[in-house]
Structure 1
């Protein structure tokens, strides 16, 4: 760990208005400070280290041991998507050359073309080294039932669209890949006679080893302010989902249903759909909750889709309030001295959802448990930049959570001082995208501002009126 290159929190705030000088805070002002560009370069090195010779970005690497880390055996559609958009960001920020970007994107797209699929979509787990479908878990030998996840496929499609936008020679190949990815596969149309069975929402996914569409999950993705809305946006944009689907998702669950708090709000009719515009209140602020109260549920999607711009008084206000609730939970409610809570590697090993229970719908929701996740602060940059930079600097200074080789470790238990041994592709991919948006706004958003996103998604967000 190199803690010498970290400046004081005062220097962070002073530099925050200058992109090239923005730096993390730390204790030794004589040393060179890692700018956000430097942090991006270290983060991209972790993506490079996780990417196999086949071109697929693996799930994680252990960075606690000397030498070159070995990528995990498994990868997912989300991990592969993270690798694609991180590579485009690396070229856009000058970390790699355009020629290197094109070579890496082509290699990854070639690997994706060879992956086994069903119903036009990709399975949840593959061997990152040879591309075979995983049927047993590498670490335990436990059986893996192949599954088609709506949200994980959304992140791979996101990465493919960004790759095709960055390299025009890939557009025909990516178009061919996406031609069979019809999001109506996951959609249960709205049935006014039985809105429980027919909610107008997306299934979590299907196990396709059953006749027909396969066996569906027992749940739909009903909460609007969660990361699966990326799948909803993609389907609405390409016309495979009706626009009314957006209004059938829950801002909160309906009054009287079991949830974290009884919501306030009102019923409104939008585009012919009766919508419960509910909200929660946390520390005097009205907001639309996520499912579990985590940062990435709320703020991963706007890395790519301009929600705050297209819906400033609803989505834009809500994003800011979600960040403020996370900050105050860590600093005032729990008095950790640090903040930022999102699903991540458990510092002692494994994986867990972390969040702020009060701003999630789930009655037994995600809890922070003293575990702070650096990627959450990067997601907060557009909404609370000085606080996010100071928080990251404190995690680096006080725990050695920043590594000049591979960026920030995945999580820190601030109660025990234990820092995760791992970096995860998903969380590094979010950091890379957040830094790209900060350093070169719009770089990764171009595919999601035109076409169906401009003509179908943007008007929906423009009509959104959260009751906050």
Structure 2
């Protein structure tokens, strides 16, 4: 599934042909009538709109990038004033800038030379940044202007206990895989950085309590973190160093953290059974009645490991929930790993059903008129976690409105619901959540985004603002590099035939990860006619 620059550029030229304002000077002629990219076809209109979104979104990413280091700030205000940039960045943010740069090049928004210079600057900075010596992992916070590890948080003055995050390093490593295939001049350097990151350092072979296989911890500190909960143990990769691991494991299947598991399996750093050391749902029964719903399901055996394939339900549909019920937990890894293709009986069902649950919640149940819920900037200040409460395992889960309306339904025989049919308030939609759904409801996504832009006005010089409360029309006029990079990736895949997946997947991943995903059978089901 490797994608060369020439192949990717050819795909992009075909899909977006005829859009002269943003196409590269050497773009191919527009495709003929009937091709999805032809301006006279409905797909041509969508392609032009998506390219406009990508071009504006890239403007915000470029505004957050420091030219001397190639590192992006975590966020910036909606007017893109450099003085409003956050002053801190993370491995995920850095990774998002890398894959956004590749995407901007592949869509003809920037030239290959510009992209190469930007990527080279970032890679050079990464090569010199301080890392954990026992694992090769990057710390969670750096100064984007210098690349120095942060020990004081710039916005609050609080002391930072340097932390090595499993999921954040997973996203940076994913981006390094993209760069090594997308930019031949940087292949060896990006590959060397990638291979220096040892993901077995996060993997606890004993796993979480009650689960049949090992799984990742949330990360670790090099020293006791003060008032945080930590478990001191020899680093799992055998480096001889002591790590202070998080007390929690990443023990839910549907979560953004699975990207680190995928990479580690692909590299042979952990066994493929790492896919089974996580909960599809928590177990059934009243001992687990704190979870949002009581699941139904069956136990299946994979490679000698028994896995409870539990599901939740929503309007007759059965699906494997995430922890909080947000879109990015469910769909962000799908930007880079062909989960639905490799797992037709698992992710191939769960992803489109998850999208439909989000859509039905926003349009039918909460009656917001809009949909797409994921953690984002709070339109009323700060940051907040948004989702569909019933689609997450967490009992006080991510909610979809400003009022934090908690849905509490019956768990038959265990618990009587206190708020089974609530009235929802000022719903908060997050545009990046809609973009993630593009492969599964293209028309629905485009309709939703057009309304968010034109009716709510949640669009600025850097593309869609981060979130908007739909009843009060209160907009979070802010750009988060993580959310913008998800938008860039989603549009890039939509217009180039999943080029990012082509960059990430190699022969080793095909051999090791694909069969493990392919054998999984979730309990997900539409439960009704679906077209």
Q: What TM-score do you get using the length of structure 1 for normalisation?
A: 0.91
SS of the residue 2:379 aligns to: coil
Q: Residue 20 of structure 1: which of 39, 44, 59 is its match?
A: 44
How far apart are residue 306 of structure 1 and its match?
A: 0.4
* Cα distance in 2 for residues equivalent to 1:186 and 1:319: 27
Q: Does residue 1:135 correspond to 2:192, yes or no? A: no
Q: Residue 185 of structure 1: which of 201, 207, 211 is its match?
A: 201
Which residue matches 2:429?
372
Q: Residue 50 of structure 2: which of 27, 36, 44 is its match?
A: 36
> Between Structure 1 and Structure 2, how many residues are aligned?
442
1:341-380 correspondence to structure 2 within 5 Å: 341-369=373-401, 370-380=427-437
* Cα distance in 2 for residues equivalent to 1:195 and 1:419: 42
* Cα distance in 1 for residues equivalent to 2:242 and 2:325: 32
Q: Residue 443 of structure 1: which of 464, 487, 499 is its match?
A: 499
Deviations along 1:349-391, one digit per CA (max 9) or x if unpaired, are 2111100010111111110111110001101111111111111
Q: Residue 252 of structure 2: which of 216, 223, 240 is its match?
A: 223
Q: Residue 310 of structure 2: which of 278, 297, 312 is its match?
A: 278
* Cα distance in 1 for residues equivalent to 2:159 and 2:395: 31
1:114-125 correspondence to structure 2 within 5 Å: 114-118=128-132, 119-125=135-141
Q: Does residue 1:386 correspond to 2:402, yes or no? A: no
* Cα distance in 2 for residues equivalent to 1:52 and 1:136: 20
How far apart are residue 452 of structure 1 and its match?
A: 2.4
1:125-164 correspondence to structure 2 within 5 Å: 125-164=141-180
Q: Does residue 1:113 correspond to 2:107, yes or no? A: no
* Cα distance in 2 for residues equivalent to 1:298 and 1:177: 28
Deviations along 1:380-439, one digit per CA (max 9) or x if unpaired, are 111111111111111111221122x21000000112211112110000000000000111
How far apart are residue 316 of structure 1 and its match?
A: 1.3
* Cα distance in 2 for residues equivalent to 1:407 and 1:385: 19
Q: Does residue 1:245 correspond to 2:256, yes or no? A: no
Q: What TM-score do you get using the length of structure 2 for normalisation?
A: 0.80
Deviations along 1:250-272, one digit per CA (max 9) or x if unpaired, are 11111232311111001111111
SS of the residue 2:455 aligns to: helix
SS of the residue 1:57 aligns to: coil
How far apart are residue 68 of structure 1 and its match?
A: 5.5
How far apart are residue 69 of structure 1 and its match?
A: 6.0
How far apart are residue 197 of structure 1 and its match?
A: 9.0
Measured at CA, do residues 375 and 197 of structure 1 come closer, stay the same or move farther in structure 2, by a change above 3 Å? closer
Which residue matches 2:453?
396
Q: Does residue 1:55 correspond to 2:70, yes or no? A: yes
- Say which is worse superposed, 100-109 or 439-448, in terms of deviation: 439-448
Q: How well do the aligned residues superpose, as a CA RMSD in angstroms?
A: 2.0
How far apart are residue 82 of structure 1 and its match?
A: 0.4
* Cα distance in 2 for residues equivalent to 1:187 and 1:18: 47
Which residue matches 1:206?
220
Q: Does residue 1:336 correspond to 2:368, yes or no? A: yes
The answer (yes or no) to whether the contact 1:16–1:22 under 8 Å persists in 2 is no
How far apart are residue 209 of structure 1 and its match?
A: 1.9
SS of the residue 2:298 aligns to: strand
How far apart are residue 92 of structure 1 and its match?
A: 0.6
Measured at CA, do residues 89 and 19 of structure 1 come closer, stay the same or move farther in structure 2, by a change above 3 Å? farther
1:287-366 correspondence to structure 2 within 5 Å: 287-366=319-398
How far apart are residue 175 of structure 1 and its match?
A: 2.4
Measured at CA, do residues 16 and 108 of structure 1 come closer, stay the same or move farther in structure 2, by a change above 3 Å? farther
How far apart are residue 465 of structure 1 and its match?
A: 0.5
Q: Residue 82 of structure 1: which of 76, 96, 104 is its match?
A: 96
The answer (yes or no) to whether the contact 2:212–2:277 under 8 Å persists in 1 is no
* Cα distance in 2 for residues equivalent to 1:17 and 1:282: 35
1:61-72 correspondence to structure 2 within 5 Å: 61-64=76-79, 70-72=84-86
Unpaired segments ≥5 residues, structure 1: 1-13, 24-33
* Cα distance in 1 for residues equivalent to 2:114 and 2:314: 47
Q: Does residue 1:452 correspond to 2:467, yes or no? A: no
SS of the residue 2:499 aligns to: coil
Which residue matches 2:26?
none
SS of the residue 2:367 aligns to: coil
The answer (yes or no) to whether the contact 2:211–2:277 under 8 Å persists in 1 is no
Runs of 4+ in 1 over 6 A off after TM superposition: 14-17
* Cα distance in 1 for residues equivalent to 2:333 and 2:187: 23
Of the two, which has the highest radius of gyration? 2
How far apart are residue 335 of structure 1 and its match?
A: 0.9
